[in-house]
Homo-oligomer: A and B are copies of this chain.
Amino acid sequence: MAVHYNCAKCNDRLCMHKVPIFSTLDKDDLRKIMGLINHHKYKKGETLVFDGDPMDSVVIINEGSVKAYKITADGREQILYVFSEGDFFGEQNLFSGQASTYSVEALQAVKTCNLSRKQFQELLYRFPEIAVKIIDELGNRMTRLENALQTIGVRNVDNRIGGILLEFAEKYGTKNEIGTIIHLPFSREGIANYLGVARETVSRKFSQLENEGVIHSLNNKEILIPDMGKIEAIAGFH
């Protein structure tokens, strides 16, 4: 179960400094906010929030990553977001008081910083620049959703695979002389549920790309891409 702890060594490096929405605040303000924060730890596979749960706090990911997803009536999972270090969720529900519209599950060991609804609202009034940051971040997230909708809607699976590789390369990739190495945030099944296709289809497409020399699987979670240009072509960016 989720462990609630008040970390002794929770210094400035942790939590706040990683979080873009607090980036405009100075050290003193940060120190004040620190006191308001609750910390939680979750193991891989644990659920932070269930779809439909009432949300009474904003959750900021401090370490690790999580997936936000919905389950349909017939049991299929559609992944909406992967939140990593510095990302936050739960903000939509603060004003309207709505229940969560998705479930959130830890993809690895995860540490979070939680701010209660009340505390968060007070922050917004005290530091209006945070509201601007949030509107900005929500805008980014909407743009990503819009792109995802386009990618999935237009339904050519090759494009979608290319698209996810580009997205992950940017977020989780490291470049070296021989190419870009992507550390995938989740399994083939996860990728499938992110793209809205069957697990086996992902396997087949990856095999095909491997045969064509476009990607090289190092292991189940890491792939090497010698030439990102080819991926861009596959994603449909002429």
Q: Does A145 lie at the interface of the complex (its beta carbon under 8 Å from any beta carbon of B)?
A: yes
Q: Select the stretch in A106-114, A129-137, A173-181, A223-231 that faces chain B.
A: A129-137
Identical chains in the assembly? 2
Residue of B nearest to A138 (CB): B138
Q: Which of A72-104 contact B (CB under 8 A)?
A: 72-74, 76, 78, 80, 91-93, 95-96, 101-102
- The docked-state distance in angstroms from the alpha carbon of A138 to that of B93 is 11
- The docked-state distance in angstroms from the alpha carbon of A114 to that of B50 is 40
Q: What residues of chain B lie closer than 8 Å to A155, measured between beta carbons?
A: 196-197
For A142, give its contact among B70, B76, B142, B236 (CB under 8 Å).
Answer: B142
Contacts A72-B236, A152-B153 known; list 19 others, CB within 8 Å. Answer: A72-B154, A78-B149, A80-B146, A80-B149, A91-B135, A92-B139, A95-B139, A102-B146, A131-B131, A134-B135, A135-B135, A135-B138, A138-B138, A138-B139, A145-B145, A149-B149, A152-B152, A152-B196, A155-B197
Can you list 7 A-B contacts (CB < 8 A)?
A: A70-B150, A92-B143, A96-B140, A128-B131, A138-B138, A145-B149, A148-B149
